Amino acid sequence: MLDILSSDAILFVVDDSDTLIGSLTDGDVRRGLMKGLGTSNLVDEIIQSKPRFIDKNNYSIEQIIEYRKESFKVIPVTDSDHRVVNVINFSHIKSYLPVDAVIMAGGRGTRLKPLTDKVPKPLLKIGGKPIMEHNIDRLIKFGVDDFWVTVHYRGDQIEEYFGKGDNKQVNIEYVWENKPMGTIGAVSLIDNFVHEYLLVTNSDLLTNMDYEDFFLNFIENGADMAVATIPYSVDVPYAVMETSNNHVISFKEKPTYTYYSNAGIYLIKKELLNMIPKDLFYNSTDLMQEVLEKGLKLISYPLRTYWLDIGKHEDYNKANLDINHLEF
C-alpha cells in the first residue's frame, strides 16, 4: 500500500471504532526492520503513536499554516472522540478553513429568463459546469467540507444534482425557504453549524478569490463581520472643488474616486446569528447596518481577483467566454 501512495506515502492506523492510534510511513517500516522486527510483528510495534492530526471541532488557521510550513502534507481529521472522519492532503487542497459555507440558491433568476424557466439559475452551466458547482469546488480547494444550501425555486433540481455531497466527499444539507427571506434571512433556519465562523455567499457568482486570505484578513482585523467588495472607480472629467460657505477650500483636477460595492460574499462570527430574525425577510445589508449600530466591527475586503455577478444575459455570456482564460 505504501508504494502505491508514492510521494504521499503515509497510512493512518485506527482501531475497530475508527479511533486514531498512529501513523505509518515507509521510514517507520525500515526502522522496524533495522530493529529486527518482521511481518509477524503487530503493526502497533512500529507505528508513530502520536501523529499530527486536526480536531475538526477545535482548530485554527494558524495551526493549518504551521503544518504547511513544516511540510506536513497528509493529515487526518478527527472528531471529538478522536475518530478519523477525514484525511486532507495539501497536495490537492490549498488550506483547511475552519468555516461552514452557506450558499444562497433560492432566487428565481428572473433577469435570465427564458434560461431559468425550467432550470434554476445556480444550475445554468458555465464552461460545461453549473455556476454553483464552480463555487462549491473553489471552496473545497480551501478545505471547506460542511455546506448548507438554501433553496426555493426548483430547489429539487439542485438537491438532486448535488445530493448529500458524497461524490465530492463533503457534507451538503439543504434549507428550504417556504417564502422569500431576503439575501441572508434563511441562515436563521440553520442551528447545527460545526464551526464558529460562517462564510455566506450568493450562488450566482463566478470568482477565483483566495478564501484563505479573506479569512486571515478577517481574523487579523478582529472583525465580527467581513464583506468582500468590488472596487469601482469613477473618473470626473472636470476639476472638483471643495467648498464651505461658498469659499473654495481646495480643488482637484480631473480626480478619480474609488468606491466599494458589495460582492455578495461574507464572513460572520456565528454568535451574530442571534441578530438575524427567525423566519422573516432579512437582507445582508440589514445585518451590516445592525452590526454598525451595535458598535461591532464590520470590515471591507477588496477583491483583487476575478469576480462576476451573473445576473443578466450579457453577464452569462461573458462568464462563458472568461471561463476559458481563468485559473481556478
Average of per-residue pLDDT across 85-113: 92
Residue with cell 476639476: 239
CATH of 100-325, one of 3.90.550.10, 2.60.120.10, 3.20.20.10, 3.40.50.1370: 3.90.550.10
- Mean pLDDT over 16-28 rounds to 76
Q: Are 279 and 195 in contact (CB under 8 A)?
A: no
Question: Which conformational region is residue 207 in: left (phi greater than 0), alpha (psi within -120 to 50 degrees), or beta?
Answer: beta
Q: What is the average pLDDT across 68-89?
A: 90
Decide if 62 contacts 177 (C-beta within 8 A). Answer: no
Please determine, for residue 268, whether its predicted confidence score (pLDDT) is greater than 50. yes
- pTM of the predicted protein model: 0.87
What pLDDT score was predicted for residue 73?
87
Write out pLDDT tens, residues 179-236.
889 999 999 999 899 999 999 999 999 999 999 999 999 999 999 999 999 988 888 8
**Maximum CA extent, the chain:** 95
What mean pLDDT do residues 72-80 have?
89
Tell me the CA distances in angstroms from 199 to 72, 103, 112, one per residue in order.
Answer: 26, 8, 26
Amino acid (one-letter) located at 313: H
Q: How far apart are CA 209 and CA 212, in angstroms?
A: 9
Write down the domain spans for the chain: 2-53+65-89, 100-325
Contact 45, 74 (CB under 8 A): no
User: Cα–chain-centroid distance for residue 268?
Assistant: 12
pLDDT for the residue numbered 36:
58
- State pLDDT tens for residues 81-91: 899 898 989 98
pLDDT tens profile 33-65 = 566 565 665 566 666 768 888 999 899 999 999
pLDDT by residue (tens digit) across 138-184? 999 999 999 999 999 999 999 999 999 999 999 999 999 988 899 99
pLDDT band at 2 (very low <50, low <70, confident <90, very high): very low
pLDDT at 132: 96
> Residues near 253 by Cβ (< 8 Å), separated by ≥ 6?
239
Q: Is the pLDDT of residue 321 over 90?
A: yes
Matching CATH number, 2-53+65-89, of 3.40.50.2300, 3.10.580.10, 3.40.50.720, 1.10.8.60: 3.10.580.10
Q: How far apart are CA 208 and CA 322, in angstroms?
A: 12
Amino acid identity, position 295 = G
Residue 4 has pLDDT above 70, yes or no: no
Average pLDDT of the residues in 255-264 = 88
One-letter amino acid of 45: E
